[in-house]
């Protein structure tokens, strides 16, 4: 059989092979870990050539802070998988968010951020950038092409996230991007939930795509890392800002991320199947007011999700009907298989209560019942359901006793 061209292979295959060059490392399958700061040149000609190559943004190893073959493997793989031009790695997802925002703004600019965006990303805007003269405005995530009414001559960045962090609103990314680009604004997206496998950012009008690789790319809850990939046009500003801010990733974390990427397609498929089963079951529970998961046909964002996305990951939220606080604590505290913790994307199931009402700026959170987010891990779905079912028994018993 003839060798397939790079453009002909499927994403599951691409995730396994992208960024790996065994021939450069004596045939070793995984790119090795380079612990490096100084890189020695054998002579002045080599030193000068490295200087020229770095100035011209050519691949190579010049100094540890600028990357090594370990980080290059991950960057190449993510960019290829997502259809981007180039990518940069960062020491955390939040570091990736911050650098991506800082790269495309200056004093006097106006930035639009979805009101459903990741909380720390919001803070980078209204708490950090605002100190340097950047005006931040939050907008209704469901605004679609109506964002035109909010655009100003000095609007330089529009931040999107689909589905929304915690609350899972589906944004019409192509419609928003079309309006933003007519104004000359850069569209920055947090694409962590879908990963490069399930949403092709650049094909839908995004200029800069952020991933908290700590989550599904690493996949094992044991490394902190972020990745930003861009179009060719957006690349120079990101690369310049990355260099100026001295963002450096530990080589072991980069190694764990590129290793995790190889199994992400298989893991993500299982996470999504389990999440769908859990959400379908939870939607039948009398204690539940609403399940927030765009892969459900009953979800308000399902039509956009089905149009633009290639799959759904294992993260969703649940809103309960109002219950006593002690009853909710009994539900949470007795769970055996769901860890009470932040983050997600690892092999283990997690649960985390939240209340978005205090931070909303452009929209009103209408629910009064307790909300919580679940990450469906790789445990057997029947065990996960049984654990939640026992939790509802405790919730109902405690709620009854409190009346």
Which pairs with CB-CB distance under 8 Å and at least 24 residues apart come from 347-350? 347/219, 347/220, 347/221, 347/267, 347/377, 347/378, 348/221, 348/377, 348/378, 348/379, 349/374, 349/375, 349/376, 349/377, 349/379, 349/384, 350/374, 350/375, 350/377
Angle, vertex CA 234, rays to CA 230 and CA 239, nearest 5: 80
Of the residues 14, 200, 215, 394, only one is catalytic, namely 215
190 flagged as catalytic: yes
Of the residues 65, 148, 285, 321, only one is catalytic, namely 65
Q: How many CB atoms lie within 10 A of CB 57?
A: 12
65 flagged as catalytic: yes
118 flagged as catalytic: yes
The H or E element spanning position 268 is: helix 264-282
Of the residues 90, 104, 118, 139, only one is catalytic, namely 118
Q: Are 179 and 147 in contact (CB under 8 A)?
A: yes
Q: Cα(191)–Cα(187) distance, rounded to whole angstroms?
A: 12
According to DSSP, residue 245 is labeled H
Of the residues 11, 140, 190, 308, only one is catalytic, namely 190
- Residues marked active site are found at 65, 118, 190, 215
């Amino acid at each position: 059989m003839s060798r397939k061209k790079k453009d002909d292979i499927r994403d599951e295959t691409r995730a396994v092979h992208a960024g790996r060059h065994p021939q450069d490392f004596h045939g070793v399958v995984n790119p090795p870990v380079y612990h490096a700061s100084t890189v020695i040149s054998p002579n002045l000609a080599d030193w000068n050539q490295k200087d020229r190559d770095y100035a011209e943004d050519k691949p190579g190893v010049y100094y540890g802070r600028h990357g090594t073959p370990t980080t290059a493997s991950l960057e190449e793989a993510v960019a290829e998988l997502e259809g981007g031009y180039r990518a940069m790695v960062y020491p955390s997802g939040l570091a990736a968010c911050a650098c991506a925002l800082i790269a495309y703004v200056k004093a006097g600019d106006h930035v639009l951020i979805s009101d459903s965006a990741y909380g720390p990303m919001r803070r980078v805007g209204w708490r950090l950038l605002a100190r340097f003269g950047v005006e931040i405005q939050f907008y209704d995530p469901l605004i679609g092409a109506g964002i035109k009414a909010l655009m100003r001559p000095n609007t330089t960045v529009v931040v999107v996230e689909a589905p929304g962090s915690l609350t899972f609103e589906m944004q019409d990314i192509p419609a928003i991007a079309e309006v933003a680009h007519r104004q000359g604004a850069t569209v920055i997206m947090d694409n962590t939930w879908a990963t490069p496998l399930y949403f092709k950012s650049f094909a839908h009008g995004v200029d800069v795509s952020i991933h908290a690789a700590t989550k599904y790319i690493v996949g094992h809850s044991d490394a902190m890392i972020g990745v930003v990939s861009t179009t060719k046009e957006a690349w120079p500003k990101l690369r310049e800002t990355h260099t100026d801010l001295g963002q450096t990733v530990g080589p072991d974390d980069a190694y764990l991320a590129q290793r995790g990427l190889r199994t992400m397609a298989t893991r993500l498929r299982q996470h999504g199947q389990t999440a769908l089963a859990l959400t379908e079951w939870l939607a039948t529970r009398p204690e539940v007011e609403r399940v927030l998961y765009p892969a459900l046909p009953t979800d308000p964002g399902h039509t956009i999700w089905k149009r633009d996305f290639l799959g759904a990951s294992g993260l969703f939220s649940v809103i309960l009907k109002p219950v006593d606080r002690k009853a909710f604590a009994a539900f949470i505290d007795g769970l055996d298989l769901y860890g009470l913790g932040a983050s997600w994307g690892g092999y283990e199931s997690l649960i985390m209560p939240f209340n978005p009402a205090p931070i909303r700026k452009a929209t009103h959170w209408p629910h009064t019942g307790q909300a919580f987010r679940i990450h469906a891990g790789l445990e057997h779905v029947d065990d996960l359901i049984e654990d939640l079912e026992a939790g509802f028994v405790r919730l109902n018993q405690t709620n009854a006793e409190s009346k």
